[in-house]
Copies of this chain bind each other. A is one copy, B any other.
Amino acid sequence: MNSAKPILTPDELLFHWQGHRALTRRVIEAFPEQELMSHSVGGMRPFAELAKELLAIAVPGLKEIVGGEIKPFNDENEKLDSKAALLNAWDEATLAIDELWAKIPLERFRENIRLFGEYDFPVIQNVLYFIDNEIHHRAQGYVYLRTLGIQPPFFWERQLEQPASA
């Protein structure tokens, strides 16, 4: 094995993900309440629904990765019917992700897991999928905001501000 430091450590990957999550939070914030809940382009889901999907993946997925019970994916449980409720859930997830991440041993990233009873890949691939899926859906939000005449946050605005807990 090469003795150089790996290209990416778990801490760095967490920082990368939380940076993306900070940006997604800004996109949620950029929507007016009603448009967050109902604005659609091309028949796609409103951004609130996309954000709920992301919430239903991140913490529940990590819980399975750290050894919790495998359950079917379910984004119907999220009773998040306002912008404030969504942002609050987002901030709670930010803290929970940090806590759960710290419980993933290094070797776990290469172990297979059948996430949500369905996605049978190494943990690292599942985690990369979480992030990729978030970038993908957030970008839909960028288009939604543009069609509303709202300037989205800059794509590179990822500094982690610890949001105030509601």
Most buried by B among A7, A8, A44, A143: A7
A residues contacting the other copy or chain, number (CB 8 A): 40
**A7 contacts B143, CB within 8 Å?**
no
Is A88 engaged at the interface, CB distance under 8 Å to the other chain? no
Nearest CB on B from A131, distance (A):
8
Q: Is the interface of A mostly helix, strand, loop or mixed?
A: helix
In the assembled complex, 27 residue pairs joining A and B whose CB atoms fall closer than 8 Å, in A order, are A1-B3, A2-B106, A4-B106, A5-B110, A7-B8, A7-B9, A7-B10, A7-B13, A7-B106, A7-B109, A7-B110, A8-B8, A8-B13, A8-B124, A16-B128, A20-B132, A41-B146, A42-B143, A42-B146, A42-B147, A129-B156, A132-B155, A133-B155, A135-B139, A137-B139, A138-B139, A139-B139
CB contacts under 8 Å to B, within A43-64, are 43-44
Q: What are the interface flags for A97-117 relative to B under an 8 Å C-beta threshold, 1 for contact and 0 otherwise? A: 000000000110110000000
How many angstroms from the CA of A105 to the CA of B111 in the assembled complex?
26
Residue of B nearest to A136 (CB): B139
Residues of B within 8 A of A6 (CB): 6-9
